[in-house]
Structure 1
Amino acid sequence: MKLRLDVLLMLLPLSAQAFPAYVTKIADGDTFTVMVDGEKQRVRIFGMDAPEHDQPYGGKSTADLTAMIFHKTVDIEPPPHHGRFPTSYDRIVGVVTISGTDVGWTMISLGDAWAYDEFHPPASYDLAAAQAIKAHAGLWADADPVPPWVWRHSKPHYRRH
C-alpha cells in the first residue's frame, strides 16, 4: 500500500531537526528513495540539480551519488529558512548529509551537479560550483555543459519538472 505524500509529511519531523533514513534506491544524481517508519519516501536533494539519465554526464552523476549514499543511512532536514519540508512532485526536498557531510555540496564540488538557484542554496554551494568549474571537474570538463533545467525544457517527456 502506497502512503500518500501529504500523509507521510504529517509523520515526518517538521522542525529543523534532521531525521535518519536508510537509502533503498537511487533514481538519478539528485533523487533517491528512503525508508521512513517502514514506508518508502522519495527525496530530492536541496540546492542542486544533477544531469538527467539521458543527458551527458547523467550516468556518472548517478553513479557517484550511488557510491556515496546507496544502502547507507543519511540524515535529512528541511532546507534553511523553511522550517518544514517543501515538496517537488512526489518528493520531499531536504538537505541530505551522511556522516556530517553535505551530500548536495559534495555533488556540486565533484562537478556532478549544478547549484540550483530555484532552491536558494547557501553561498557555499556557489563557491563549490565555482571551484569545480575552475578545476574542470566532472561535467565541467565539457566546455559548455547544458544545465538540466534547460535540457528538460527541450525534452517533452521532462516537462513535468
Structure 2
Amino acid sequence: MQLRTILPALLLCLVAMPAWAWPALVERVVDGDTIQVRADRRTLTVRLSGIDAPERGQPGGIQAGQALAELVAGRSVEVVPEGRDRYGRVVAR
C-alpha cells in the first residue's frame, strides 16, 4: 500500500479515538439522560452528552428513564468524558 492510502485512514483513526475513556458499571439510571456509574471504586453521576430527555415530573419523563434503563442498567459501559455541567456532573458519551 502506498502512503497516500494509509495516511488518511490513520488520521481518521486518531481523530475518532477518544482522548481518554474508562470502563464503568451502570449502577442506576437517574432519569432519561443521567446515570450513576461505578468506576475505580467511585460512584459518579454522568450526564449523557447530546441527549435532553424530559425530567421525571414532565410528560414522558418516566418512560424516558425506563427506556434508558432497558438499554444500560447493570451493564458495563465505556465513559468518554467531554466536560462537566453546571451541577458538577461529568458530561460524557
Unaligned residue ranges in structure 1 (runs of 5+): 1-14, 80-84, 96-161
Q: Deviations over 1:103-129 (max 9, x none)?
A: xxxxxxxxxxxxxxxxxxxxxxxxxxx
Asked which structure has the greater CA Rg, the reply is: 2
Once the two structures are TM-superposed, the CA of residue 19 in structure 1 deviates from its matched residue by 1.1
Report the alpha carbon displacement of residue 16 of structure 1 after superposing the two structures with TM. 1.4
2:40 is the counterpart of 1:27:
no
- Deviation string for 1:40-99 (max 9, x for gaps)? 1000000111001011111110000000000001111133xxxxx33341310001xxxx
Post-superposition, which runs of at least 4 consecutive aligned residues in structure 1 deviate over 2 A?
85-88
Give the structure-1-normalised TM-score. Answer: 0.45
SS in 1 for 2:35: strand
Relative contact order: is structure 1 or structure 2 higher (C-alpha 8 Å, sep ≥ 6)?
Answer: 2
Q: Tell me the residue number matched to 1:154.
A: none
Which residue does 2:4 correspond to in 1? none
Structure 1 pair 88–36 and aligned structure 2 pair: CA distance change class (3 A): farther
Aligned to 2:44: 41
Q: 1:71 aligns with which of 74, 85, 90?
A: 74
Q: Give the counterpart of 1:87 among 85, 88, 93.
A: 85
Aligned pair count reads 76
TM-score, normalization: structure 2? 0.75
Aligned-pair Cα RMSD in Å: 1.4
Asked if residue 51 in structure 1 is aligned to residue 54 in structure 2, the reply is yes
Unaligned runs of 5+ in 2: 1-17
Higher-helix-fraction structure: 1
